Structure 1
């Protein structure tokens, strides 16, 4: 079983001592995120959600996201990440492809206020998937053993997707982004950056375009997100580059660099390798190999 198909973590507990423990990141999987306890601002693209106990987020992992929990507090969550390419043929064979609709139509949404019984069912399924230890499948397991594991995991995931689909149909459960004054400013800054990512962005032109003091803007953004504006900008650029490298194999590395907002190829290559630990070309090749492996396993 390809470990990239699904990853599961149940009730991860962290006593937050540093904001650096939670970095902006992205991945090519859909994600179900269950908040059990702790005060946490969750950042997805240009959205900021203030999480409460039993909140559930569904998201497209390609969108840059990051948890920003309160320092010194215990933060507990469960996470399921799964490949849409892997699960889609399974759902099609069961004639329920609609189970992915919430991730496609309501992507990056927060759900709150579900019935206690339904939330308990969702948590139990997440617990059972994680208990199979899909993140540490032994490489020496036989093909039959791996197929048994994959069958069990996929059956549980389908049940979980049914529950998420039911939750998405409750009209009052989708919560809009909460916007305090600070969060509203941070939203505007993040949105402006994403809309102008391929431009030469400076703190001065962000401040001028949004009609806000550069110093106040910088302080507010760091307070809300835990990142400086320039750290967020460069994370967005790396995220776009990763997307272009994977999804547009026809584009040259230079084209990817320029469309991601880097001024030249050498700066892009150097910064990408520093952040991702491999070269842009190696990253593209590794994703192509992963895709081919998933295609073979789905046959």
Structure 2
């Protein structure tokens, strides 16, 4: 696995920055100030709190807006990122994805944490784990903002409480009625909020989160059996887990794990 990470400060000493075209996937997070992001045919405003994902070989550059702009970035290669971006709905022909106007402090913390591992040839597992978390957090937020219509503050609070409860109880079977009861809502009301907020049903959201968690464990913990992972995440049995995993990702858990183990081997 090849990886580069850094912190870039755009200042008023330069009005435009040289073009980049990296052979890696790249995450960029703007934590201060503002700039514009340019490709051959697009221009996007980048403000503090904006997160950006780029595919390899995208020719781009930045132009400063204001006095200064701070960008944290990480560039890396790997098969898993390609599969995850596709799983979350990013089309093959889309060169980048952007999340505007949302503060993602955890994303910046994770990216900064990579600085500790970037030059360590023995930190492959730590690097893979952190990169996986960055990818999952980015694409969950990206997909949510891409499909969600306007919603009021009450719905926002309910959705936040519901997703928090689901994450806390991720090892339990996906029981929507129990979740609705915990939130003192009708099942129908809760499902309407999830459909409006995320574009999918409560059960589908819960299931996809379980599958995302299972993908992480399959990739990062080769000593765990597939059955152990399935049971830890509340699936009734292996048959049920295999069926749901294939419905969500298009492949079996075993095939997914094998591809990850092969692709994540250190380059020589």
Q: Could you tell me the TM-score, scaled by structure 1's length?
A: 0.45
Structure (1 or 2) with the greater helix fraction:
1
